[in-house]
Amino acid sequence: MSSVDISNEVLISNANLQVQNMESGSDMNHLQYNCVRFDRLSANDVLGKEFKSVEEAEIFYFAYAKAMRFDVRKDDKYVSARTGRVTIRQLVCSAQGKRREEYMNNSNKVRMPKKLTRCNCPCLFKVRYFKKNNSYVVVDFKTNHSHDLAQPHESHLLKSHRSVPDSHLALAKSMRRVPIKVCHTYQYMADRAGGLTKVGFLRKDLYNKLDISRREALLEGDAKAALSYLEGKAATDKKLFCKYSTDESNRLANLFWRDSTSLLDYSCFGDVLVFDSTYKTNHYEKPLVLFAGSNHHLSTTIFGFALLVDETVETYTWALQMFLESMKGKKPIAVLTDGDEAMRKAIEVVFPDCPHRLCTWHIAKNAQSNLHNPEVIAEFRRCMFDEATPYGFEQRWNDMVNKFDLHDKNWVRMMYEKRHKWAEAFINGHFFARMRSIQRCEGMNNCVKDYLSTGVKLFELMPLLDSALARLRNNVLQEDFRSNNSSHVLTTQLRQLEKHASTIYTDSVFYLVREEIERVGGLITSRIMRFRTSSVYITSSYNNNEENECTTVYHHLESNPHIV
């Protein structure tokens, strides 16, 4: 359907149609055709008038209907089978005709029937093509209505005169990728137009237009569209990796992909792999698996994504195998997960000798759900974090179980069996890049969920994840810039050591190193007295040699050092 903006002066050539915007006491636009106001047009004024095309005739009638404030419905249309030309075109008022009797008398309706909008309105406009004139001639024009017309302040609600321009649709698509909700986008458009009555369409129209656009992209299938998107990326990213599997019906089951930047990041920061599956807001409820790690800024880096058909051992094993293949066989030296049993078994299959740590945040949360008693929870956390040796852990654990009578607590027994994967006493000695929870994946999920909503299709998911990943990588770029284009104020007593550290570490790592420098920089060893099996270290404050302000450390050569 063609439309015309009647708020401005419009001249349709060869149709002798002049639409003028005239000021009046009311807010209604008084429009004219052949110097006759639309609200005063009669059948004699229009009958016999010629239009060069059907579109021209439709533009006239839609402008007339908008000025008179009624909806238009396209009715009869006859096309010549020989020439393919439209020979007859009829437009009617939307209230023409009436609802069919079978719908009126249906007693099995589940929903409440819609209100009646048709009342046999006689208003119509009809043109016929005449070969002799090579034009379309108005052969019927009725202006009478059997119902009240819309009020001036309601004219923007008339359905046939509302349309979403392509420019507004493109803007809405762009703002969805940012992400900005459609309702907020519509409000922005209305503000720019000067109000809700001037935007030219309703919020529902924008939702419908976006939905139609989605359906058009799905004509060849959602999964095929998603794979086509990845194929398009592979054309510019030669090292992009994508593998998928299908089910018995030859439908997409599992999908794994990563780009060349993720490969580079893994080669640099892939010592510790965070493996998490927590997000299921896509249309098919497929778990979205994130492969993440920690980079040189101690911030999140993403190594790859996977969409899985379920959360079984076999499926997780497939995902880890694809991940390992995509990273050219390089295994991590440690893995961190949330404690899912299927994940644990899959890791044992693919990374059999890799230390596996469970997320302490999830364990602490489960402790609150299973132990309830605040004193027991506090003691459990001490077992998890405070004990540095297996012997100390066993002793504290036994004391906790005996004190609070936890012998018959199934969750307590289960956690004890897994103690090597979560207690600091057993984790010590393994490198986990300062990570003890999967909050890096959770942080990425928070980043992703801003872009996603329940029911998102696969072909929409790919660019949304790319947008989230681009934002994450841009944050790393900003951190690089700040680290490389500024210098730290030196605050410790060991200035030379601190200055050297500030030149080789990123800001986040340097702050950790400076804490260690501050701890050791306050003391200096002034004398060492050695005996048969021990030594005595006499230390004093930095730049202070007075022995009466010294700290003495006793170190037995056959045992651990301790302060006396």
Summarize pLDDT for 76-121 with one digit per residue, the tens.
999 998 888 999 999 999 999 988 877 777 667 777 778 888 999 9
Do residues 55 and 151 both lie within one domain? yes
pLDDT on residue 18: 42
pLDDT computed for residue 270 by the predictor: 92
Domain count, the chain: 5
Residues 280 and 298 in one domain: yes
> CB within 8 A of 326, min separation 6: which ones?
241, 243, 256, 258, 263, 304
Better-scored residue on pLDDT, 250 or 542: 250
3-state secondary structure 443-471: HHHHHHHCCCCCCECHHHHHHHHHHHHHH
385 and 441 inside one domain: no
Q: Give the domain CATH number at 308.
A: 3.30.420
pTM score above 0.85: no
Highest mean pLDDT among 27-31, 255-259, 356-360: 255-259
Q: Is 299 helix (H, G, I), strand (E, B) or coil?
A: coil
Candidate from 148-162, 328-342, 382-396, 522-536 with smallest mean pLDDT: 522-536
Share of the chain above pLDDT 70, in %: 81
Which two tokens mark 4?
Answer: 């015309």
The answer as to whether 494 is a domain residue is no
Q: Which helix (H) or strand (E) segment is 275 a member of? A: strand 272-279
Q: How many residues does the chain have?
A: 564
Parallel, antiparallel, or unpaired for β 241-246 and 135-142? Answer: unpaired
- Write down the residue that tokens 């440690």 correspond to: 334
pLDDT (0 to 100) of residue 44: 87
Looking at residue 445, its pLDDT comes to 57
**Enclosing domain of residue 368:** 360-427
Where does a domain end: 115, 145, 160?
A: 160
> pLDDT-derived band of residue 543, with 50, 70 and 90 as boundaries?
low
Do 412 and 366 have their domain in common? Answer: yes
Contact in structure between 457 and 214 (CB atoms under 8 Å): yes
Task: Give yes or no for a contact between 430 and 334, defined as CB atoms under 8 angstroms apart.
Answer: yes
Domain assignment present for residue 478? The answer is no
Amino acid letter, residue 289: V
Is pLDDT at 217 greater than 70 in this prediction?
Answer: no
The model's confidence at residue 327, banded by pLDDT at 50, 70 and 90, is: very high
**112 lies in the same domain as 133:** yes
pLDDT at 449: 56
Check whether residue 314 and residue 444 sit in a common domain.
Answer: yes
Q: Which residue has the tokens 């200096």?
A: 524
Q: What is the mean pLDDT of residues 242-268?
A: 89
The mean pLDDT value for 423-439 works out to 84
User: How far is 383 from 371, CA to CA, in rounded Å?
Assistant: 14
Q: Is the peptide bond before 113 cis (omega within 30 degrees of 0)?
A: no
Q: How does pLDDT run across 180-202, given as a tens digit for each residue?
A: 888 899 999 999 888 888 898 99
CA atoms within 13 A on the CB side of 217: 18
Are 232 and 327 in the same domain?
yes
If DSSP codes are grouped into helix, strand and coil, which group holds residue 164? Answer: coil
Rg (CA), the chain: 37
Mean pLDDT to the nearest integer, 384-398 = 90
In this structure, the answer to whether residues 334 and 208 fall within a common structural domain is no
Q: pLDDT band for 451, please (50, 70, 90 cuts).
A: low
Q: How many CB atoms lie within 10 A of CB 65?
A: 22
Whether residue 171 is found in the same domain as residue 274: no
Say if CB 71 and CB 158 are below 8 A apart: yes
Beta strands in 308-425 (DSSP E): 334-337, 356-358
Q: CB of 432 within 8 A of CB of 336?
A: yes
Q: Among the three residues 217, 232, 250, which one is the final residue of a domain in this structure? A: 217
Could you tell me whether strands 72-79 and 50-51 are parallel, antiparallel, or unpaired per DSSP bridges?
Answer: unpaired
Residue 489 in any domain: the answer is no
1: in domain: no
Please name the residue that has the structure tokens 């893995």. 335
User: Range with the lowest mean pLDDT among 171-185, 289-303, 389-403?
Assistant: 171-185
Distance of alpha carbon 407 from alpha carbon 400, whole angstroms = 10
- For residue 401, being part of any structural domain is answered with yes
- Residues 6 or more apart from 471 whose CB is under 8 A from it? 447
Say which range, 24-33, 50-59, 129-138, has the weakest mean pLDDT: 24-33
DSSP strand pairing (356-358 vs 334-337): parallel
Q: Assess contact for 2 and 27: CB atoms under 8 A.
A: no
Coil, helix or strand at residue 302: strand
Q: Are residues 80 and 191 in the same domain?
A: no
Percent of the chain residues past pLDDT 90, beyond the cut: 33
Q: Check residue 254 and report its DSSP letter.
A: E
Reported as a pLDDT band with limits 50, 70 and 90, residue 127 is: very high
Q: Domain for residue 385, yes or no?
A: yes
Contact 286, 459 (CB under 8 A): no
d(CA 346, CA 338): 13
For residues 210 and 236, membership in a common domain is answered with no
Residue 286 within any structural domain of the chain: yes
Residue 251 domain flag:
yes
Secondary structure of residue 391 in the 3-state scheme: helix
Residue 25 banded pLDDT, cuts 50, 70, 90:
very low
What type of residue sits at position 254?
Answer: N
- CB distance 482 to 296 below 8 Å: no
For residues 342 and 391, membership in a common domain is answered with: no
